[in-house]
Amino acid sequence: MTEKTTAALEKLRNEIDTVDQGLLNLLRQRLNLVARVGEVKHNAGLPIYAPQREASMLDKRRDEAEKLGVSPQLIEDILRRLMRESYQNEKNVGFKQVNTDINHVVIVGGRGQLGDLFRQMLSLSGYQVHILDADDWHLADMLFDGVGLVIVTVPISITCNLIRQKLGQLPEDCILADLTSIKLSPMEAMFETHSGPIVGFHPMFGPDVTSLAKQVVVVCHGREQEKYQWLLEQIEIWGAKLVEAEANKHDEAMQVVQALRHFSTFIYGVALFESKADINQLLQFSSPIYRLELAMVGRLFAQNAQLYADIIFAQTENVEQIEGYFENFREGLEMLKSGDRKLFIEKFDLVADWLGDFSAQFQQESRVMLQTAADMKVN
Amino acid sequence: MTEKTTAALEKLRNEIDTVDQGLLNLLRQRLNLVARVGEVKHNAGLPIYAPQREASMLDKRRDEAEKLGVSPQLIEDILRRLMRESYQNEKNVGFKQVNTDINHVVIVGGRGQLGDLFRQMLSLSGYQVHILDADDWHLADMLFDGVGLVIVTVPISITCNLIRQKLGQLPEDCILADLTSIKLSPMEAMFETHSGPIVGFHPMFGPDVTSLAKQVVVVCHGREQEKYQWLLEQIEIWGAKLVEAEANKHDEAMQVVQALRHFSTFIYGVALFESKADINQLLQFSSPIYRLELAMVGRLFAQNAQLYADIIFAQTENVEQIEGYFENFREGLEMLKSGDRKLFIEKFDLVADWLGDFSAQFQQESRVMLQTAADMKVN
């Protein structure tokens, strides 16, 4: 590099430093303002996530960006990232307590990650929360005395038995809820065991979320909805989106969404292991899309074996989805071995037609994800 | 909402609008400054992507953010997004031409997406580029007369035959290169056909990238590296990272990275289609991780069936990886049907141990991806 080049670059980089200082100051200001919006909303008991307001604000910014010759997508991406930050900061403010009359809450299994998240959110909303974990059953009578809400969040494999054996003596007006990732059998167990209000939830997110904003929570209505309606409102105030579902339909969809997915990822990890794949080399050669794939495999194996065993073995009587996939794979392998390109293209086009407009939408979404993966790349 | 709440929110939102105006102005300024850095680098022939400079700038910003009480990750994410924007804008400036002595370039198959990208990048760097597509073979003699570089980027299924049948008469000192996603057989074909300099590339990215910055290009050295060294430097000036590999090792890794991956995704799409899955319902129930999965399926089927047939059928003599996965799946399914949780957990732990530190790294990466997926969610 010539001296002139070095000097020119140095000067420009100093100017960039100054702009970045300004940027940081504005980010600080914006986070403060949004925190104050949060406080106003908190006092008024409004949900922190307002989809329409968010969409119209983004539209406005996109227009303004265009006028300045800044790409609309750039400002949208930056503001979405900033909003995430603000949602996470909401936790520092706390949340409005929807039901101020209710007695204390007991979370059975509250030392798990999901139980801990709900404990935290309920506490931040002013409820008095007690944990009842595996070692605490000698305290059960005391904790259940006058309890207003019991939330069960224990491993799937023991959920139904625990409900039947341990939760038969709750106060008549206590709400009994669970957070299990399958819904039919825990709901049945709750119905058989408790005669008061019952509701089932499935929080559709991993243990590493730091805010419920924009996350989906599936609700299966059980009994006496009017008595637990406040809890639904409370969850919405935390920013989550409630999706109502029938327990059996939910469980069917979960076969596709969860069991098959986790199982395939598990098998992929096993296949990598057995072929003694060189992960470093794979990473070197990997495109962003494959890096993402590997990340998903690593993510699964970084977590708890028991947890995934629970999810995958939860409905062993019902492995049709996985068997169906296996059959499709067998047929596909035969097609591959016989070199039948024509059949491949026919099937490809069938599926592409069936997916229709979803394909374009998915391609757009995946492009954004892959760009982010590329942005992240450091080595 | 009370009037007081409405008024308070209105006031805060106006203040946020003002901050956002400032933000937009600073973004515009920053993009301008980085564009000027690009011009200086362009004139000096420096690569646009400088990993170390980037890392040290990010470290500095993270420190500054921390002092202001802004999360370091927030400023890093925003700056990475901004850098992507700047890399894309580099195209408006053009790139330094490393080799000003070379005669014109011919891209065989230049009307495909990848060929078009290379045509664009070479033109932006001052080279005279001609396209030779399927219908242009009557012009071949004219185009090949005195040609300095021929890049082959046609479907895998015809690459080797095309090289052997059509490229036997290139000038002795012409560089022959290809962009095929497998390397051994095209390299062999080039060696047999052309006696001058030879080099194989595999650009490791999808057709929808808009900049080569940070993208990986695999290089397989062929013959007379000193004669094509300028081309490697040129590709680095475009911002790409070159990874050297032996053709056979590359192809082996691609069996795992590409063929198995694409094939599994294809089968997953077929399985969804055959089970007549309700995509709308799946999306409703889907966690960010599953949404991402679906996006990857949709992405594949939104693209060209021929292209994927080419990739998947390219090495049909070598389907061991896919067969291995299939066998693992069969064993896994038996384990599932027999309810053998113990075996599941044993295997899980084996793979987790084998992955070792990669697991934590992957979990961190996937967390960032999933957060971005959640940021994007609009419905």
User: Which H or E run contains A107?
Assistant: strand A105-108
| A243-268 average pLDDT score | 86
Cα(A176)–Cα(A192) distance, integer angstroms: 12
Cα(A211)–Cα(B364) distance, integer angstroms: 17
Cα(B21)–Cα(B70) distance, integer angstroms: 20
Hey, how many other C-beta atoms are within 10 angstroms of the C-beta on A10? 9
**Under an 8 A CB cutoff, do A253 and B285 touch?**
yes
pLDDT greater than 90 at residue B159: yes
pLDDT tens for A206-239 read 777 778 888 889 999 999 999 999 999 999 989 8
- The mean pLDDT of chain A is 88
- In angstroms, the Cα distances linking A116 to A151, A208, A350, B28 are 11, 12, 46, 43
| Count of alpha carbons within 13 angstroms of residue B281, beta-carbon side | 15
A370 close to B352: Cβ distance less than 8 angstroms = no
B78 close to B70: Cβ distance less than 8 angstroms = no
- CB within 8 Å of chain B, chain A residues 329-368: 329-330, 332-333, 336-337, 339, 341, 344-345, 347-352, 354-355, 358-363, 365-368
Residue found under tokens 């002595």: B101
Tokens of A43: 């006092």
Task: Please give the DSSP secondary-structure letter assigned to residue B98.
Answer: S
**Closest C-alpha to A153, from A128, A122, A125:** A122
Sheet holding B198-203, edge to edge: B129-132, B105-108, B149-152, B175-178, B198-203, B216-223, B241-244
Q: How far is B172 from chain A (nearest CA, A)?
A: 32
- CB within 8 Å of chain A, chain B residues 283-312: 284-299, 301-303, 305-306, 308-309, 312
| B6-22 average pLDDT score | 93
| B120-131 average pLDDT score | 94
| B149 against A355, higher pLDDT | B149
Task: Please give the DSSP secondary-structure letter assigned to residue A135.
Answer: G
pLDDT tens for A148-184 read 999 999 988 899 999 999 999 999 999 999 999 899 9
| A284-292 average pLDDT score | 77
- The mean pLDDT of chain B is 88
Hey, how many other C-beta atoms are within 10 angstroms of the C-beta on B317? 8
Evaluated on CA atoms B32, B38, B43, B44, the torsion sign reads: positive
Tokens of B176: 């022959």
With vertex at residue A130, the alpha carbon angle to CA A126 and CA A134, rounded to the nearest 5 degrees, is 150
ipTM of the complex: 0.78
pLDDT tens for B138-155 read 999 999 999 999 999 998
Residue in A12, A32, A219 to test binding to B, most B beta-carbons within 10 Å? A12
pLDDT of B89 reads 80
At residue B108 the predicted structure's pLDDT band, cuts being 50, 70 and 90, is: very high
Beta-bridged to residue B244, according to DSSP, are B219
Instruction: Classify domain B105-245 by CATH number.
Output: 3.40.50.720
Cα(A303)–Cα(B363) distance, integer angstroms: 9
**Under an 8 A CB cutoff, do A264 and B263 touch?**
no
SS3 A218: strand
Residue spans of alpha helices (H) in chain A:
3-44, 51-67, 72-93, 113-124, 140-144, 156-166, 184-193, 225-237, 247-254, 261-274, 279-285, 288-301, 305-313, 320-337, 341-355, 357-376
Cα(A174)–Cα(A179) distance, integer angstroms: 16
At residue B252 the predicted structure's pLDDT band, cuts being 50, 70 and 90, is: confident
**Chain B contact for A7 (CB, 8 A cutoff):** no
Beta-bridged to residue B176, according to DSSP, are B150, B198
pLDDT tens for A25-58 read 999 999 999 999 988 888 887 877 777 888 899 9
pLDDT of A377 reads 56
Residue found under tokens 């015809």: B158
Cα(A83)–Cα(A88) distance, integer angstroms: 9
How many beta-carbon contacts under 8 Å exist across A and B? 462
Amino acid at B99: N
At residue B71 the predicted structure's pLDDT band, cuts being 50, 70 and 90, is: very high
Cα(B257)–Cα(A56) distance, integer angstroms: 41
At residue B98 the predicted structure's pLDDT band, cuts being 50, 70 and 90, is: very high
By DSSP bridging, strand B216-223 and strand B241-244 are parallel
Instruction: Classify domain A3-93 by CATH number.
Output: 1.20.59.10
Cα(A280)–Cα(A69) distance, integer angstroms: 41
**Chain A contact for B7 (CB, 8 A cutoff):** no
- In angstroms, the Cα distances linking B162 to B111, B114, B153 are 16, 18, 10
**Under an 8 A CB cutoff, do A369 and B367 touch?**
no
Cα(B177)–Cα(B107) distance, integer angstroms: 10
| Count of alpha carbons within 13 angstroms of residue B352, beta-carbon side | 17
pLDDT greater than 80 at residue A102: yes
pLDDT of A4 reads 83
Tokens of A79: 């503001």
With vertex at residue A108, the alpha carbon angle to CA A102 and CA A114, rounded to the nearest 5 degrees, is 95
Contacts of A51 (CB under 8 A, 6+ apart): B378
Domain boundary assignment for chain B:
3-93, 105-245, 250-376
pLDDT of B203 reads 93
Contacts of A109 (CB under 8 A, 6+ apart): A115, A132, A133, A134, A152, A153, A154, A155
The CATH number of domain A250-376 is 1.10.3660.10: yes
